[in-house]
């Protein structure tokens, strides 16, 4: 068995610092609304929407749209699949750091 680190263990979906930030926030919060996520990561509406859409296509996040009064409200949460994928990514990073 080789001790070499296999770079394929890192999930390409989390190479973006924005997606890494999104998943980090969702791992420690059950749900986060659009505006809170935007403020936490200092993103524009379009930037957050495009990265969230990419994560949603991978089934890593769940998006729930609702109305509070007459205002639309969008909630995000990490899916079970997303949590597993992100944890595997973190484990791979940790393994890489320990070997360096």
Domain of residue 52, CATH code: 1.10.10.10
- For residues 74 and 33, the answer to whether their CB atoms sit within 8 Å is yes
Distance CA 18, CA 39 (A): 12
Asked if the structure places residue 31 within a domain, the reply is: yes
100 pLDDT tier (thresholds 50, 70, 90): low
Q: What is the domain range of residue 65?
A: 14-99
Mean pLDDT, the chain, as a whole number?
A: 93
The verdict on residue 5 lying in a domain is no
Asked, for residue 86, whether it belongs to a domain, the answer is: yes
And the tokens for 77? 């949460």
What pLDDT band is residue 9 in, cutting at 50, 70 and 90? confident
* Residue 68 belongs to some domain of the structure: yes
Three-state DSSP at 44 gives coil
Q: Count up the domains in the chain and report the number.
A: 1
**pTM for the complete prediction?**
0.89
Residue 14 tokens read as: 């989390």
Residue 1: inside a domain, yes or no? no
- Asked whether residue 29 carries a pLDDT value surpassing 90, the answer given is yes
What residues are paired with 79 via a beta bridge?
none
Q: For residue 6, what pLDDT is reported? A: 78
Residue 2 within any structural domain of the chain:
no
């Amino acid at each position: 068995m080789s001790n070499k680190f296999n770079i394929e263990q890192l999930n390409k979906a989390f190479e973006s610092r924005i997606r890494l930030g999104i998943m980090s926030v969702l791992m420690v919060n059950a749900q986060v609304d659009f505006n809170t996520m935007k403020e936490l990561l200092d993103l524009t509406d379009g930037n957050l929407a495009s990265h969230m859409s990419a994560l949603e296509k991978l089934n890593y996040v769940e998006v729930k749209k609702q109305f509070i009064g007459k205002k639309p409200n969008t909630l995000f949460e990490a899916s079970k699949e997303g949590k597993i994928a992100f944890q595997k990514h973190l484990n791979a990073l940790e393994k890489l750091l320990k070997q360096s």
